[in-house]
Structure 1
C-alpha cells in the first residue's frame, strides 16, 4: 500500500457525487450560497465546547474583535454529540462546535457540517498535515484543527533497571522486554490493554503506515488487512498470546494503581494525560521517564495522534468568520500561550507545526526523574505523526463495532486477524448500505 498522504482535495463530478455522499451533503446544503460570500458587518457566532480554558479565550477574542462576537456555550456531558445532532436537525445548531476527528467525519458524512474549504485554505499551512487530514475527510474541509495528542512512551525507569530492560525502540523490542520481565516476575506486565478499548490496535496500525480508509476517485477504499495493518495486528496478537499485557479497565477509577504500584511498568501515552498522572501516581512520582513511542521502522519512524477539531455546522451563515475565529483560537501565539498554560487546565496540546514554545508548560516536572529530555520526546512525537491516516465517513460506527469484538480478542476468543477481516467487511457493507460507495482494499 502506498504511504503517500491523501490528496488535499478530491474533486468529484456531479454524477459521481451521489455515490460519495460525504462530499455531496456538505457542499449542497442550504448554506452553499452563503458559504460562497464574505460576511459584512457585525455578527455573533455561537460556539459549543467542553474544554477548560476555552471560554476565557473567547472573551479575549471578543474584546479584540467587536465585529465577530462569540457566544460560548459549555456543552460538557456524555450526550454532547447527540444534542448537537438534534440541534442541527432542528435548525438551532451553533455555528461552531468542538468535536473529535472521528465524529467530524461522521457528521460530515451525514450532511451536518458546512464545507469551508475555500475559507479555511489560508490557515492550512499553520497546522501539520495529519491535523489537516482530521478536518478534511475525503479531501473537503469542514473545520479547523484545535489540538493534537501525539503518542509517546512513559515507563517506570526504576523497574526497567531492576528487570534489566531498556526503553523499547521498536514494538518487537517491547515484546522481548515483556517476555524478559515475565521470566523474573510473572505478576508484572509490560503494557496494558483494556477489554473495552481497542485504541492500541488503532495506534499501532497508524504507526505501521496502514490506511484503514482512503479515497480513490469516487469511492472509499477500506483496508483493514493490508500488510501494514496485519503487521500491527501481529504485535497485538503477541501481547495477547504471551500474556504480556494487563487488562485494567479505563472505566475503573482504580486503573492508575496498576502503574503506580508497579504491576504494569510501561504505557504509550500523550500530552493531555500528563497532568492526570501527576495527581494519580503518588507512590511512583519521580520514578517515571519518557521515551519515544516504539516504531515499526527505525529508518522511517512515525507515531499516531488523536485530534480535537472545531467543526463548522450546517446552517452556519458566516463560515468565513467561523473559520477565522477557530484558526485564531488554535494557531495564534496569543491564544495558545494561554491554553497550554497548566493554569488554564485545558490539557490542550497544539496541532500547529511548531510546538516548541508550548511544550515545557505541559510537563509535570515532579512526575519524571529528569534523566531524559521530556520536552524533546514530546516535540519529536508531534513531528512524527503519520500523514497517511484518514477518518472515514463511518469511523465512529466502525469503532463501536470494533469495541464489541475487541473484548473477544483480549480474552483469546478471537484472533486479531479475524477481527480485522470481519471489520473490513462490516465497514464496506455499512458504507454501501448508507449510499456511500466503498470497496475492500485487500
Structure 2
C-alpha cells in the first residue's frame, strides 16, 4: 500500500485533509534544521527524567535545541495534542503511546517520517516497528519503549506447594487447579476486568489482530478466533473458581501480592517496579519466566504498554525533529540514558541487551539473567496494528467483562460486545469498515 492511500484510509473520518496528511512531512521538514541557523524544537513527554537525555542532545547538537514541556501521559496528552493541533500550535515532538497513534494520524496531528527515519526500521523487532506504521509503509513515530509480556511468580510459594513453572497455558490452568486443592486461601493469579491493555497483550500472543487496513477501509476483528480462545480460557478458570477475579491495581490486589494470596502475575517488562512499589515485603522472592505458550515449544508474547516519539505534521522543522527522535531512541548513549534515568525498557533491539541492562532489577536480586531472558522474550512479540478508537474498545472491555464476572456469564459474549461497539463507533465517525 502506498503512503498516500494509507493516509486516505486513516484520514477518511472527520473530514481530514488528504493533502495535509500526505504532504506535511516533506513540505515542512526539508527547509529548516538543515540550512543553517539554530533550530528550536518543543517536546511534550511524560517519561521521568527524560530531560537528562535531552540535555545530552543539546550539549552535542548546538544547532538543534530541544525544550521539554512535561505532560501527563495516556489520554491527557492525546487530548492536548488534538486541541493544540486544531489551534495551529502543536509541539514539534511528542511522546505517544502506540495505541494512540491512529487517533492522532486520523486527525492529521502526526507527520509521516518514512523519508526522515532512514534505516531506523532495522533497529527494532518487526512487531515493535509495526506499531508505528498502522500496517502500511508510512511511519508515524520512532519506537521508544516496549512492553513485552512475561510471567512473574513467587519462587518460595511455588516450592511450598510443589508447583512447577508452567510452559503452556494448559499447564498454567492445571497449576491453578492443583493449588486450589491444597489451599482455599490462595490463588495462582487473578483475572482483571479493569485492565484492557493486559487482555489485549494476551490476545496478541494468541494471534489476535483487532484492527487491520483492508484496501481503503479498516478491517475490525476484535472477536476473532484467537481472542475468543483467550476469553473462553480465562472465563472458564474464573467460573470454576481456579483463579481469582479481583481487579488489579487496588489496595486489595496490593495486599494479595504482598501476603502471598496471589502466587503469579502475567504482566510486562515493567512489572518489577510495580511489585517493588506495591509488595515491598516480597523482594527477592519473585522470578520471571516467559509467558506460557498456547503451543508447546513456541516463543511468542504480546505487548502491554509502550510508547513512541512522534513529530507534528504542522512542525516547521520535521527533518530536525525526526533527527532528534531517531537519535533518542536508537543511539546507544541515548538509550542507555533512557534506561538509567527514565527506567524504561528500550524498544531498540540492541539496547535491550546493552550495557545499561547488565544488572537485574533491584527487586530481583536472585535472577541475574533477568534482562538476558527479557531480550529473548521480546524477540517473539507479536506485531499489532491499532485502530482509531481504542478508547471505545477498552471502555467496553471494562463494562462487558465486569458484567460477565458479576453475572457469571460468557467471556466470549463480552468480546462480541467489544466488536459490535467498536464497529458502530467507527461507522458513526465516518470510517469505512470492511466485512
Same fold (TM over 0.5): yes
Is this contact kept in 1: 2:207–2:226, CA < 8 A? Answer: yes
Distance in 2 (alpha carbons) for counterparts of 1:203 and 1:421: 18
CA shift at 1:386, angstroms?
1.0
Partner of 1:12: 5
Scaled by the length of structure 2, what TM-score is found?
A: 0.90
Is this contact kept in 1: 2:3–2:22, CA < 8 A? Answer: no
Partner of 2:396: 401
CA shift at 1:365, angstroms?
4.3
What secondary structure sits across from 1:424 in the alignment?
A: helix
Distance in 1 (alpha carbons) for counterparts of 2:172 and 2:389: 32
Structure 1: runs of 5+ lacking an equivalent: 1-6
Q: Does 1:75 align with 2:71?
A: yes
Is this contact kept in 2: 1:26–1:108, CA < 8 A? Answer: no
Distance in 1 (alpha carbons) for counterparts of 2:97 and 2:139: 14
Is this contact kept in 2: 1:44–1:71, CA < 8 A? Answer: yes
Partner of 1:352: 348
Partner of 1:328: 327
Partner of 1:65: 61
What secondary structure sits across from 1:191 in the alignment?
A: coil
Partner of 2:119: 122
**Number of residue pairs matched?**
428
Q: 1:217 to 1:66 in 2, by over 3 A?
A: same
Q: 1:19 to 1:360 in 2, by over 3 A?
A: closer
Q: Does 1:439 align with 2:434?
A: yes
Distance in 2 (alpha carbons) for counterparts of 1:25 and 1:404: 39
Is this contact kept in 1: 2:166–2:292, CA < 8 A? Answer: yes
CA shift at 1:390, angstroms?
1.1
Query: RMSD over aligned Cα, in angstroms?
Result: 2.6
Is this contact kept in 1: 2:145–2:308, CA < 8 A? Answer: yes
Structure 2: runs of 5+ lacking an equivalent: none
Q: Does 1:107 align with 2:101?
A: no
Is this contact kept in 1: 2:29–2:317, CA < 8 A? Answer: yes
What secondary structure sits across from 1:310 in the alignment?
A: strand
Q: 1:60 to 1:360 in 2, by over 3 A?
A: closer
What secondary structure sits across from 2:146 in the alignment?
A: strand
CA shift at 1:15, angstroms?
8.4
Q: 1:59 to 1:17 in 2, by over 3 A?
A: closer
Distance in 2 (alpha carbons) for counterparts of 1:360 and 1:202: 27
Structure 1 segment 132-211 matched on structure 2, within 5 A: 132-139=129-136, 140-211=138-209
Q: 1:414 to 1:96 in 2, by over 3 A?
A: farther
